[in-house]
Each structure stands twice: as structure tokens, then as C-alpha cells.
Amino acid sequence: MLAPLHNARQAYLRLASAVGPLPLTLLVSLIAVTAIAWAFTLYQPFAMSASMGSAMGEMEGMAMEDMAMDSMAAGWSFAGLLIFVTVWTIMMVAMMLPAAAPMILIFAAAQARRDRHVAVPTWIFVAGYILVWAAAGLGAYVLDQAFTELLRSHASIDRIAWAPLALGITLILAGLYQFTPLKHVCLRQCRSPWGFVAQYWREGRTGAVNMGVRHGLYCLGCCWALFAVLTAVGMMSIAWMLSLTLVVFAEKVFPYGVRISAAVGASLIVTGLLVASGALQLPWRA
């Protein structure tokens, strides 16, 4: 019973001893970047709500069907891609940096033992990590636009009727993924920052980028299904953003992370079955 608590304590002491010699500015900057990303992420839903309320007031006489078609008419555009990927990347910084903090700090500690210049290589490592999530945002934009095009080309589809089934299937698939070997491999890498540094350490700034990208790929492999759920229910859902942030953090940092991952998977499957059957209603992306 006490073994997991002892292991957690030992891990904490190792992390604390590693972080000790690091420059205070590095720790403060990590906290500041995360806080700014969260401020922007939480501001967006309120700004969009206010903007939509104003637009509704100006377009009071327009039919709902016309408004829906207008909202989908933007289609593919470089500006749309840029905005989507920017918002997505900032959101990923907010949601993923807390869980990635142990890996970032241990990388910085390993760097400090080799060179007194720690901040620049560490931020290069973080940039490589974020680059992976930005690329994932590009893929999410393509899927989002393909989904919109499908709705436009099949105007007769009863979205209200099939939406619960689509959302339920997404939840079930995300839950099943929690039990796959790929999920376990990626989660193990994310939960073992010391082992990751020992196995994949590369010298220099190019090495820092390489390590950041590699760790980002493991994180993407670990969490992509959870963010597919976020995309399905709506990227601007504050409740889902906060919930998934806590889930990702618990999986990667808490002593019982593997069990938490399994519990989350089972919960997603049950919720998906209830949503698909109509027994439970959840808000979904419009």
C-alpha cells in the first residue's frame, strides 16, 4: 500500500534536486508562458460569445438556415488555416505544458550538467515539442474543413438526428484507444522523463530540437484521441478543456497514471454508449 507513495516521494525528491540549480528565470518564464496561453485560451470563448451575440442582434431577421450556410461558406483559405493553427497551438501550450513540465525541467537539469547556458537549449527543446502540436493543428484543420465540406455537399443530412451517434462513436473510439499497446508505449515514455533523457539525449541545439520533436510525438501518440473528443464537442468548450488538461496531467504525472488512463478509457466508452443510444445528451460542435 505504501510502495506507490514511497515511489512518488522518491520521484519528487529526484525532480526537486534536478530543478534546484536551474535559473529562476527559466522556471518563471515557463509559468508565465503557460499562464498567458491559458488567459488567451479562456478569453476566446467569451470573445466569441459576445461577437455572436452582437451578430445575432444585427441579423435578427435572417433565417436560421441562411445563417448556417453563411457560417460554412468561408471554406478553405490560408487566413483561416493560419488563425486555426495559431489558436490550436496556443491552446495546446496551455493544456500540455503543465504535463510536460517534468520532462522540460529534467532536460534543463541534464543540460545544466554539460553547459551553464541552459535557457536557450531548453526553449529550443520546448519549441520542437510545440512544433509537433502545431503540425497536429494543421491536420485538425484539414479534417475540420473536410467535415464542413461534407455537410455542405449533403444539405439533406439531418444533423440533429445523427450528431449524438457521431459523438458517441468518437467517445467510444477514444476510450478504446486508452487500452491499445500504442497508448501504453507512448504513456510510458511520457511518464519516464529520466529514461527518455538517458535514451535519446543529443548534444547541441539541433539535438534539443530533435529531442523536443521526439517527445512531442510520444505526447501526440498518447493524447491525440482525447483531443479528437475535444474537437468533436467543440474546441471552445471550457469545461472539456479543463477536464482534459487534468486527465492528461494525471496520466503523466500522478503515481497511478496507468490506472487513471484505464479509468478514463472505461468512462469514455460508457459515456459514448449512453450518448449514442440517446440516454445522455452532451453539447457538441455546431
pLDDT tens-digit profile of 225-274? 999 998 888 777 888 899 999 999 999 999 889 999 999 999 999 999 99
Distance in angstroms between the alpha carbons of the first and the last residue of the chain: 47
Q: Which three cell numbers stand for residue 26?
A: 527559466
What percent of the chain lies above the pLDDT cut of 70? 77
More confident residue, 157 or 265: 265
- Is residue 239 within 8 Å of residue 153, measured between CB atoms? no
pLDDT tens-digit profile of 19-64? 455 667 888 899 999 999 999 998 876 665 555 455 444 444 444 3
Measured at the alpha carbon of residue 214, what is the angle toward residues 208 and 216, in degrees to the nearest 5?
Answer: 100
- Is residue 115 within 8 Å of residue 208, measured between CB atoms? no
Whether the pLDDT of residue 207 is over 90: the answer is yes
What percent of the chain lies above the pLDDT cut of 90? 52
Buried/exposed 43-81: b ≥16 CB within 10 Å, e otherwise: eeeeeeeeeeeeeeeeeeeeeeeeeeeeeeeeeeeeeee
At residue 286, the pLDDT reads 47
The mean pLDDT of 166-187, rounded to a whole number, is 95
At residue 280, the pLDDT reads 83
- CA–CA separation, 221 vs 46, rounded Å? 31
- Is residue 133 within 8 Å of residue 216, measured between CB atoms? yes
At residue 51, the pLDDT reads 56
Extended beta strands in 25-91, E state: none
Residues 6+ apart with CB under 8 A from 101: 30
Instruction: Assign 180 a pLDDT band (cuts: 50, 70, 90).
Output: very high
Q: Which three cell numbers stand for residue 210?
A: 530533435
At residue 25, the pLDDT reads 83
- Is residue 177 within 8 Å of residue 269, measured between CB atoms? no
The mean pLDDT of 7-11, rounded to a whole number, is 48
Instruction: Assign 1 a pLDDT band (cuts: 50, 70, 90).
Output: very low
- Is residue 248 within 8 Å of residue 99, measured between CB atoms? yes
At residue 150, the pLDDT reads 72
Of the candidates 201, 218, 255, the residue with the CA atom closest to the CA atom of residue 12: 255
For residue 283, what is the DSSP state?
A: -
Of the candidates 234, 237, 230, 222, the residue with the CA atom closest to the CA atom of residue 268: 230
Q: Which three cell numbers stand for residue 22?
A: 536551474
Whether the pLDDT of residue 157 is over 70: the answer is no
At residue 138, the pLDDT reads 93
pLDDT tens-digit profile of 61-102? 444 344 333 443 456 788 889 999 999 999 999 999 999 999
At residue 174, the pLDDT reads 96
- CA–CA separation, 149 vs 107, rounded Å? 43
At residue 279, the pLDDT reads 85
